[in-house]
Amino acid sequence: MLILLPPSETKRPGGAGARLDPGGLALAQLAPLREAVLSALVALAADEEESARVLKLGPRQRGEVAVNAAVRDASTMAAVDRYTGVLFDALDAASLPATARRWLGAHVMIHSAPLGPVWALDPIPAYRLGAGASLPGLPPLRRLWAEATTAAIADLAPRFVLDLRSEAYAALGPVPAGVASRYVRVVSEGGDGAVRALNHFNKHAKGALVRRLAQERPRISSPAAFLRWAESSGLRVHEGGEGELELFAPAPGSPTDR
């Protein structure tokens, strides 16, 4: 099973790893695109005002320009430790035992806007770039990444892909046609029985799901096998729309959200 996660806008600074090696990350065939995006990001950082406009930075976020300027030479850390925020706080990879972290490194990719999908334990620097940005001199990221990323995922030949990305990041590299996959939507059932999609809380549910998978390390190679595992683990997951799964989670503030 291959799990695809979105990144987070917020990231831990620093790191103890060597400088970034774009060709040493997952899907090495994407290295030329990584180089192109990194070069455009560094060039953009030479103009703080333009960086703020393109990256939609507020006054308190101007320090992100310097982060981008140093992206090629900055220290690195494992991607799953670099990202912070609701999803990655719920995953809490740093507290997992070594066996669970190795499982993450073999089964989980995090989809970075400047780097494409990277393995959870791939070393990456801090940066600031979102899926919706358009860097000067390059086509929109969706057009730049999508076809090449889909082909690179196809080369991995995963038997089953569990896609936990947001729609914006899924568009940067759709799962190849012909690969068994499910796109996960987090939902909650209200007192009236109506099923509603969750927004902010969906990130927590996804992080908790991946943490559970890393702890239990099941062998899953199909949507049916994933559903069987989820049921055995006490999770409520149903088939949704075509190619989708609904992961039921307690709504924020409910008695079970504690």
If you average pLDDT over residues 9-31, what whole number do you get?
Answer: 97
What contacts 24+ positions apart, CB below 8 Å, involve 108-111?
A: 108/3, 108/5, 108/80, 108/210, 108/214, 109/2, 109/3, 109/4, 109/5, 109/26, 110/5, 110/6, 110/7, 110/79, 110/80, 110/83, 111/4, 111/5, 111/6, 111/7, 111/165, 111/169, 111/172, 111/173
> What pLDDT does residue 54 have?
96
pLDDT-derived band of residue 256, with 50, 70 and 90 as boundaries? very low
Give the three-state DSSP class for 234: coil
Per-residue pLDDT reduced to its tens digit, 193-217: 556 666 668 999 999 999 999 999 9
Calculated CA dihedral for residues 162, 166, 171, 177, nearest 10 degrees: 20
**How many residues appear in the chain?**
258
- Please count the other Cβ atoms lying within 10 Å of the Cβ belonging to residue 99: 10
> What pLDDT does residue 189 have?
74
> What pLDDT does residue 217 have?
98
If you average pLDDT over residues 102-115, what whole number do you get?
Answer: 98
Q: Where are the chain's structural domains?
A: 2-248
Question: Is residue 30 within 8 Å of residue 118, measured between CB atoms?
Answer: no
pLDDT-derived band of residue 246, with 50, 70 and 90 as boundaries? very high
